[in-house]
């Protein structure tokens, strides 16, 4: 049994230690906003925050989660998260949307630690999140809009 704090709520997971946090979130907690894209940490669709840091939950076993977990379902409760979501909608970033939970989580983590990141910082923070629909230029613009 593993106790984790997800979005401020204490939850007990009856699951094997090696279960990736991604699947614990999606199937045990019913939080399907975090997505499965590759299973090897290459695409970023599974990005959540642990202790405020962005992590790829598909390769993070629940036994290794040290810190409170924040998912896309709750990121809007923070000021940064809310501004990111609003910028994403104002600039109509999203196409299919499947990568966007991960994109928003990566962007929120960046803006939580850098109030006005430059392009190189944005590149570094976002290079791990694949978008097959090609929304990258709008994501960049939305991150910049969310800093204002």
Partner 1 sequence: MSGGYAAIPESALPATTRRRFLTGGALIMGFMFSRAARAFDSEPNLAAAGALDAQGRGFAGFVPSGFIRIGDDGRIILVMPSVEMGQGIYTAEAMLIAEELEIGLDQAEVVASPPDSMAYIQSILKSQVTGGSTSIRAFWTPLRQAGAAARSMLVDAAAAQWGVRPEECAADRAVVSHAASGRSLPYAALAAAAARRPVPQNIGVKPVSQFKLIGRPLKRVDTPAKVNGSARFGIDVAIPGLRTAALLMCPTIGGRLRALDDSVTRQAPGVIDVLRLEDAVAVVGEHYWAAKKGVDLLKAEWVHGPGAHLSSPTLENMLLHADAEPTPGVLTGSPEQVMARAPHRLEAIYDLPYLAHATLEPINTTVHVRPDGCDIWVGTQVPLTARKVAAEITGLPPETIMVRNHLIGGGFGRRLAVDTIEQAVRFARQVDYPLKIIWSREQDIQHDHFRPAYHDRIAAGLGPDGLPVAWTHRTTCSTVRPYYDRKPWPLGTLDKDAIAGASELPYAIPAMRVDWVRQDGPVALNWWRGVGETHNVFVVESFVDELARSVDRDPVEYRRAMLAHNPRSRAVLDHAAKAAGWGDPLPPRTGRGISLHDSFGSYAALVVEVSVDPHGEVRLRRAVAAVDCGIAINPDSVAAQIQGGVIFGLSAALFNGITFADGRVEQSNFHDYRQLRFNEAPAVEVHVMPSEENPGGLGEVGTVSAAPALCNAIFAATGVRVRRLPIDRTELAEKGSDNMVAGIATAATIGVGTLVAGATLHSRAKESDR
Subset of residues 53 to 82 that bind partner 1, contact rule: CB under 8 A: 71-77
**DSSP calls for 78-135:** SHHHHHHHHHHHHTT--SS-TTHHHHHHHHHHHHHH-SS--HHHHHHHHTT---TT--
Task: Name the minimum Å distance from CB 140 to partner 1.
Answer: 7
Contact status, residue 11 vs residue 25, Cβ threshold 8 Å: no
- Spatial distance between the Cα atoms of 87 and 53, rounded to a whole number of angstroms: 21
Counting contacts by CB under 8 A, is residue 104 touching partner 1? Answer: yes
Counting contacts by CB under 8 A, is residue 98 touching partner 1? Answer: yes
Counting contacts by CB under 8 A, is residue 5 touching partner 1? Answer: no
Subset of residues 6 to 45 that bind partner 1, contact rule: CB under 8 A: 6-7, 9-16, 19-20, 23, 26-45
The encoded tokens of residue 55 equal 């992590």
Residue 72 or 109 with smaller CB distance to partner 1: 72
Interacting residue with partner 1 among 53, 78, 95, 109 (CB under 8 A): 95
Residue 51 or 130 with smaller CB distance to partner 1: 130
């Amino acid at each position: 049994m593993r106790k984790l704090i997800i979005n401020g709520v204490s939850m007990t997971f009856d699951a094997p230690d090696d279960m990736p946090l991604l699947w614990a979130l999606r199937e045990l907690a019913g939080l399907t906003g975090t997505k499965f894209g590759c299973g090897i940490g290459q695409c970023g669709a599974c990005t959540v925050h642990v202790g405020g840091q962005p992590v790829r939950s598909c390769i993070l076993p629940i036994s290794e989660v040290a810190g409170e977990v924040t998912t896309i379902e709750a990121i809007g409760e923070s000021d940064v998260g809310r501004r990111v979501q609003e910028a994403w909608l104002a600039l109509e970033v999203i196409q299919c949307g499947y990568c966007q939970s991960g994109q928003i989580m990566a962007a929120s983590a960046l803006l939580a630690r850098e109030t006005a990141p430059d392009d190189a910082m944005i590149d570094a923070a976002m290079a791990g999140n694949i978008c097959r629909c090609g929304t990258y230029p709008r994501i960049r613009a939305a991150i910049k809009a969310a800093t204002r």
